[in-house]
Amino acid sequence: MKTLSIVIPNYNNSKYLAKCIDSVLDQSYPLEEIVIYDDRSTDDSAAILKEYAKKDARIRLILATENKGVSVARDTAIRSCKTEYVTTIDADDFFYDKDKLLREMEKIEQSDVPACAFSQTVLADEAGNICSDMTLIDLQKDFRFRTVTQTIGVHIARDICFPLKDYIAVGGYVSDMKLFEDWDLSLKLLSRCPFIFSGGYGTVYRQKDNGLSRVDQKQIVAAKIRAFRQGGDYLEYTLSERLVFYLRTYLYAMISNIRK
């Protein structure tokens, strides 16, 4: 059985912490450690985290002295792990069921080479009420093409289980990225590892009012292009992947300008 750690970055998500951490503690796959990085929260997150740490010896807290953003939080915590594999979940999300990590790690165990495993994302409103169409999709089919071109929509791989050594090899999260940092990492990991769909549901992702819809469209386009180009330093894109990505991105930009 391969060893696995989970990283939880947190900033001012005290009202969601219990749901997130409880869903992690309830996982059927044994976790070596649960690393929670608090990015200098100004709410009562630290007090809640300290109480959880008292109850479970696997929980290790990193309490930042200054706020540096989610990419630094994830990267710092991931690099502190000592296990073969690592996964993450944001503090305002939670796992759909107790076997999420078990299904993914079983797929990894069955692979002949180091691999990344992922599950289908479940959408919820801010209160955590499921609002997804709960129909399983074959996310393995054309996974690379749909991921590279961003045609996979809300089903882009989130909170994957990945080999720590390959994360280090591709440089991990980019410290100043605030948008599409997960996609950027997936593109880089695709250059080294196959991605395997677990066949089940994974993270329940809360859609909040302060999400991507509030971001300026020019920033979104610029961030997408940056991530795509960074991924290209590791992953050799096909001509069709390049054409479809840029076509979709610029069409998005045009439609956004028309709607203004």
pLDDT, tens digit (0-9, with 9 covering 90-100), for 164-186? 999 999 999 999 999 999 999 99
Q: Is the pLDDT of residue 260 over 70?
A: no
- Residue 180 Ramachandran class (φ > 0 left, ψ -120 to 50 alpha, else beta): left
- Inter-axis angle of helices 181-190 and 70-79, nearest 10: 40
Q: How far apart are CA 18 and CA 94, in angstroms?
A: 9
Q: Which CATH number characterizes residue 145's domain?
A: 3.90.550.10
Q: CA 4 → CA 13, 105, 121, 260, distances in Å?
A: 24, 9, 20, 46
Q: Phi/psi of residue 254, each to 5°?
A: -65, -45
Number of domains in the chain: 1
87 pLDDT band, cuts 50/70/90, is very high
Q: Is the pLDDT of residue 2 over 80?
A: yes
Q: CA 55 → CA 13, 22, 52, 219, distances in Å?
A: 20, 12, 5, 42
| Domain, as residue range, for 35 | 4-259
pTM above 0.75, yes or no: yes
Read off the amino acid at residue 34. I
pLDDT, tens digit (0-9, with 9 covering 90-100), for 70-86? 999 999 999 999 999 99
Q: How far apart are CA 158 and CA 202, in angstroms?
A: 8
**pLDDT for res 210:** 62
Q: Which residues make Cβ contacts (< 8 Å) with residue 59, sequence separation at least 6?
A: 21, 33, 34, 36, 49, 52, 53
